[in-house]
A and B are shown apart, each in its own frame.
Chain A
Amino acid sequence: MTSHIDLAQRLIQRAARNAPGALAARLEEEWLADLAARSGTLARLRLAIGCWWATGVITRDFAVPQVATSGGRAGARALLGEVRADFPILSRRTLTFLLIAGFHLLLIYALASGLAQRGATSLPQISPAVVTQEIRPQRPTPPQVDIHIKSPVIPTTQQDLRRIADFDLRPQDEPATAVPTGPEITATDPPQPPVIQRIQGGPGKGFPNTDDFYPSASRRLAETGATTVQVCVDAEGRLSGDPIIARSSGIRRLDDGALNLAKAGSGHYRPSTENGRPVSSCYPYRIRFSLHD
């Protein structure tokens, strides 16, 4: 408890002693009295620190004479008394600040004007390091070889293969010698895929008659046309899926009749054959509806 009061008192006393002359004693007593009126550690320390700040401001205020009325001048004289006589124009703090600022300005000027660089160049020159070249025993360089590729020919025949292998790898100063061709390469034709003879199927024996599926309405309206139907037929001649219209006749009724006919023909289709063997396949065929006299 007393430690912070002592600290605050010491701070105030030291701050007041830095104040101008005759004001020092007055400010010290005044501030210590105000310190006694304060309660709380923080408030007392704040007051003490504030007194330090106030000392600086007061010092500056009384270093530069204030513009005051005649009454104000009289008050200042009464306050300061003999203080002005021994109070320097520049306080120690101001002088220190000016010295530091001047040093920095000088340093900045030196850097900007290149004085520092000139100073650096005036230093004795360090002799550059001598780099000696390491001499290594010369190895015999191989003779220069020219590589000429005559043409990018895809080897398809024996003659082409020999032409591709005909690189000129001889050294320029070396007489031409016969290039060993190695074992003879015989080009062979790629194996041909086996030929499959495919015969497409279609309506076979016992396939229903087209007229039986001619829509009666179309017959009355004399609608004629051809519908192409796509069917998938197994090896037995049966439909393996529902037939679909591959190309319409343009008349819905005729297309429906064609689909009915294609479905009814299941089991009577002639399956497609591959090399004579029946296989499952899908194929289109056309159904024509026409009126007979």
Chain B
Amino acid sequence: MGKKSSDVRMSLQTLRVLEAFLENPTAELAGSDVQKRGQLASGTLYPILLRLETAGWFVSRWETIDPARVGRPRRRLYRLTPSGLARASEVFASFGRGVPA
């Protein structure tokens, strides 16, 4: 594990992103989903998602759908990694806010 929260600067916006994922740690969320839950601007959200992915907190993949059949483009889905979940839990524990079950 080594360094935990020092990998990524823990701004309020970053905490909101993590909080959105910690509501259901196994869920995969697209950027638009995180934006709705965290009330974040797109200019802030996407750089945070990329930073967290680069730092190994998240993994991402393309949605496996047939766009022609569904009628919409495929989305990029993000998910917490086990190490990302542990780090995020530690971050929130250090703030004394508790971690959702």
Contacts and interface: CB of A to CB of B under 8 A. Distances in A.
B32 A38 contact: yes
Interface string B16-55: 0000000000000011100100000111111100110111
B2 interface: yes
Interface residues of B, number: 28
B50 to A, nearest CB: 6
B74 A29 contact: yes
Q: How many of chain A's residues touch chain B, expressed as a range?
A: 20 to 34
Contact of A30 (B31, B35, B51, B54): B31
Interface in A25-60: 26-27, 29-34, 36-38, 46-47, 49-54, 57-58
Nearest to A47: B42
Contacts of B3: 69
Given A50-B41, A58-B46, A66 B74 contact: no
A71 interface: yes
A46 B41 CA distance: 8
A138 B13 CA distance: 91
Contact of A68 (B41, B46, B54): B54
B46 A31 contact: yes
Given A46-B42, A68-B56, A79 B50 contact: yes
B55 A75 contact: yes
A102 interface: no
A38 to B, nearest CB: 7
Contacts of A291: none
A46 B42 CA distance: 8
Given A33-B30, A46-B42, A57-B43, A66 B54 contact: yes
Contacts of A51: 42-43, 46
B56 A69 contact: yes
Nearest to B33: A37
Contact of A75 (B31, B56, B72): B56
A32 B73 contact: yes
29 contacts: A27-B46, A30-B31, A31-B46, A33-B63, A34-B42, A34-B75, A37-B30, A46-B41, A50-B45, A51-B43, A53-B42, A53-B43, A53-B44, A54-B45, A57-B44, A58-B46, A58-B50, A61-B47, A66-B7, A67-B7, A68-B55, A69-B2, A69-B3, A69-B7, A69-B56, A71-B83, A76-B54, A79-B50, A79-B53
Interface of B: 2-3, 6-7, 30-32, 35, 41-47, 50-51, 53-56, 63, 72-76, 83
